[in-house]
Amino acid sequence: MNAVDRTPWLLDHAPYTPFMQRRTAKPPGLSPLDMDAWTVRLPDFEAQMARRREVLRDHPEVAIGSGHDAEEPVLELLSMLKAHLGLDPEITQLEEYCAWTAIAHLVAEDFCLLLPDQSSGEYKLIGAILCFPSRWLLSEKMNRPLTIIHDPVPDYDDALARRVNRVFEALHQDRPLVRINWLVHPTAELFLPIGLSDKLMQEAPVGGPLFLRTERQTLVRLPRSRAVAFGIKTSVCPLECLTPAQAQGLHAALLDEDDDILTYRGGSTRDHARNVLTQVAAG
């Protein structure tokens, strides 16, 4: 069985290339979001939805986290998503699910909810549906402020933390935002909690296939609860599917990072990634 058979959600192109522009290559790289495009339906949609159902069936304790203060915001989020998708607010097909699971069955995006935390002065994670984590565990981040949530990210320093918190504080319900995160992984698997991710990274063959993993991240203020809904749409494509110009841009972006960031973005694959991208850029 080849990689495509095992991972039917693989795209044959890169849907987003934030590394092509300096403004979006590094965080925060925010842009205005058109709420008509709050969620997206890419060619990987059906395959990703099938994988989400598998994760929810086999690992619900990993994919769902919810505190008491998330009870009202998640219902508000579900209601807004139904309206966004043009669904009947009383749709009965979702009644058998909790609100988080209902959301997971509607869209390919994962969602995290955050509210201000007086003790830390930051926003904290109060609940989430996270079917496709990228090397982190939801259970370790629940009820934690943003700085602790981003602790493994090397360039999330104090200055960036203050800037991100200001973005959350200033986020207006009529002015949502979007950004794209990017990583290079030696696996196309979408479900990468800590443990499984380490196993797959270690088992990746030297010189094996590499994949661009992008995360389209949206920031939307919920008008009633005032919580921030942080959406994450993950997509994966092989590096070989990049155009020569995109491969050159990604190669340049990797060269522009220090060793800590390179390890975060590409793990032990960074030198191999540079070689692959050089070949793709050459056509």
Give pLDDT, residue 68.
92
Q: E strand or H helix at 125, and its extent?
A: strand 122-129
Q: Give the C-alpha separation, 227 to 149, whole Å.
A: 17
Q: Which of 267, 115, 124 is nearest to 192 (CA)?
A: 267
The reported pTM is: 0.91
Mean pLDDT in runs of 10 for the chain (283 residues)? 68 97 89 98 98 97 95 96 88 73 96 91 93 93 82 58 84 97 93 82 77 97 97 97 97 79 61 91 91
Burial class (CB in 10 A: 0-12, 13-18, 19+), 216: buried
